[in-house]
Amino acid sequence: MPPAQLRPGVVLPLTGAASILLLLSALGPGDPVADVISDYALHPSSAPWFALCVLLLAIGGTAALTGLPRSWAFRAWQGGAVLCVVFPSNADGESTFSGDVHRLAGGALLASLPVVGWKVARWAGATGHARTVVRLSLLVLVTALLFGVSHLTASPLGVARGLFERITVFAQAGLLLAIAATPRLIPAKAESQSDDVPESTDKRDAAVPPPQV
């Protein structure tokens, strides 16, 4: 079965989020290789654009996942995106409640989407599109792990912390587009299975003769 047609409600928010992040990385404050994306929230000139970027990512991602069975991974990704906007990060060396929530939400945002991707690939079956979803899921997972390791004390990856995070976010946008382009096979399967159960029950009931009075 060919991939489904992408909806504007998915493409426009995700491409908008990716475009804003690209522009912030090129023209915004800080070092796009070493500094994390959430640092944009600390600068008055870039804070509104950072909030809009994450909001568009959440809107496009929710639209991309619409129609799929809800799971803990989907809720973790969606909740992480919203919390990243509501609770801003803190500067290096500071420890605040808002910053702690932001880091936990960011970890959920980065780590949960590959799980959704693998489930979608399994539902789609052995197709070329499903393999693309798996590859993008692996890319998100690997870069997210590198980003996490870069936060460890004295990690040599710390010099490229921001680069790992940006690659992960761009890969997430690509994965969400691939998920949105996946034919919605599971709802149809679930409906056919649910329709078959009463039918088979009726057949068994029909096979049993009525009791003799």
Predicted confidence band of residue 200 (pLDDT cuts 50, 70, 90): very low
Could you tell me the sign of the dihedral formed by the alpha carbons of 202, 208, 210, 213, in that order?
negative
Contact in structure between 41 and 50 (CB atoms under 8 Å): yes
Q: Dig out the tokens for 67 from the structure.
A: 């129609």
> What is the pLDDT, as a whole number, of residue 195?
36
Would you list the DSSP string of 76-107?
HHHHHHHHHHHS----TT---HHHHHHHHHHH
Predicted confidence band of residue 184 (pLDDT cuts 50, 70, 90): low
Count Cβ atoms below 10 Å from residue 181 Cβ, excluding itself: 19
Q: What share of the chain is helix, strand, coil (3-state, %, to 5)?
A: 75, 0, 25
Kindly report, residue by residue over 186-196, the tens digit of the pLDDT.
544 444 433 33
In the block, tokens 């475009």 appear at 19
Pairwise CA distance, residues 10 & 64, whole Å: 6
Kindly report, residue by residue over 112-164, the tens digit of the pLDDT.
899 989 988 888 777 888 899 999 999 999 999 999 898 887 889 889 999 99
Kindly report, residue by residue over 84-109, the tens digit of the pLDDT.
878 877 766 677 888 888 888 888 88
User: What is this structure's pTM?
Assistant: 0.79
For residue 139, how many C-alpha atoms fall within 13 Å in the half-sphere facing its CB? Answer: 17
> What is the pLDDT, as a whole number, of residue 21?
95
Contact in structure between 172 and 143 (CB atoms under 8 Å): no
Nearest to 39 by CA among 115, 102, 96: 102
> What is the pLDDT, as a whole number, of residue 203?
43
- Higher-pLDDT residue of 66, 94: 66
